[in-house]
Amino acid sequence: MSRLTATLRNYLSFIKFSHTVFALPFAVTGYFLAVSRPGYGFSLRILILVILCMVFARNAAMAFNRYADISFDAANPRTASRELPSGKISKRSALLFVIANSVFFVISAGLINNLTLALSPVALLIILGYSFTKRFTVLCHFILGLGLSLAPSGAYIAVTGHFSALPVIYSFIVLTWVSGFDIIYAIQDDSFDREANLFSLPSKRGRKKSLIISAAAHTLTVILVVAAGVAGKGGILYWTGALIFTAMLVYQHIIVTPSDTSRINLAFATVNGVASIIYSVFVIADLLS
């Protein structure tokens, strides 16, 4: 393996690039919600800029989270082999990566319209600020959800230049969905977080209560999915996607229990990644039909 290839693999692993699949489909959904409206047409330029904004923002957020948490990651046996604590990537390189992606995000937003440019520092404040919230509040999972929830509304604004109710509903879908599965993901570190006095829900409220809160968040997600279908006058394709998405939410609560957390990674990465893609594909297909 060449040095360049090894470096690329380290950075892709560093930012968990595959996890872009959580929010990116919703950003594309927000884009197509906008272009399906009367008076707006498809623009490849805007679509590319929306995708670039998503990628740059997420790169910055994930890299900064790793940078801010390096001492915790080094002390946690599950995360000690990550790129920063293991020395595969230096702290200086990580910080430069964060700065570069933040700058590229703002530039990409500025190339869309004035409102996206004005809102870009607010978006950065939320997605970068999340990295510190686990130090003082159990609401950290919901702040992560808030960061990713900017995707559909941001993409809609990129096309139209203004807010609208329907993409905001999709943003709340993302907020409650991401918050719910992040609580599940945090269960695997509940013992370490408790010892390090970190404020994840599992470490402060226990596994059983945390899974109940996660299920409540996902119940709200389903309600919002129904609301989006009604408000957007969804057809058979929409409701098919909504049903599959709902079934996958239920499935992850079946396979992860307080006494059996062996399938957390399946629930977190695979199930939610597939759910995001399937739901968005069906929503977009319905919009275009």
Distance CA 129, CA 205 (A): 23
- Give percent of the chain above pLDDT 90: 90
Q: Is the pLDDT confidence value at 11 over 70?
A: yes
Measured CA distances, 247 to 219, 251, 274, 275, 279 (Å): 12, 6, 12, 9, 11
Q: How large is the average pLDDT for residues 7-29?
A: 87
Contact 2, 258 (CB under 8 A): no
Q: Where are the alpha helices (DSSP H) in the chain?
A: 3-14, 24-35, 44-68, 70-75, 83-86, 91-110, 114-133, 140-160, 165-186, 190-195, 201-205, 207-231, 236-255, 264-265, 272-288
Gap between the terminal Cα atoms of the chain: 46
How is the chain split among helix, strand and coil, in percent rounded to 5?
80, 0, 20
Domain count, the chain: 1
Confidence band (pLDDT; 50, 70, 90) for 253? very high
Burial (CB count <10 Å: 0-12, 13-18, 19+), residue 109: buried
Segment among 7-11, 97-101, 121-125 with least mean pLDDT: 7-11
pLDDT in tens, 37-54: 999 999 999 999 999 999
**Which pLDDT belongs to residue 164?**
94
Per the structure, the complete domain to which residue 49 belongs is given by 3-288
Q: What is the mean pLDDT of residues 61-80?
A: 96
Length of the chain: 289
The pLDDT tens digits of the residues spanning 143-192 come to: 999 999 999 999 999 999 999 999 999 999 999 999 999 999 999 999 99
pLDDT at residue number 1: 56
CATH number at residue 53: 1.10.357.140
Q: Which of 16-25, 28-37, 74-83, 159-168 has the lowest mean pLDDT?
A: 16-25
SS3 category, 260: strand
* Position 13 confidence tier, pLDDT thresholds 50, 70, 90: confident
- Cβ-based neighbour number of residue 161 at 10 Å: 14
Which DSSP category does 76 fall into? S
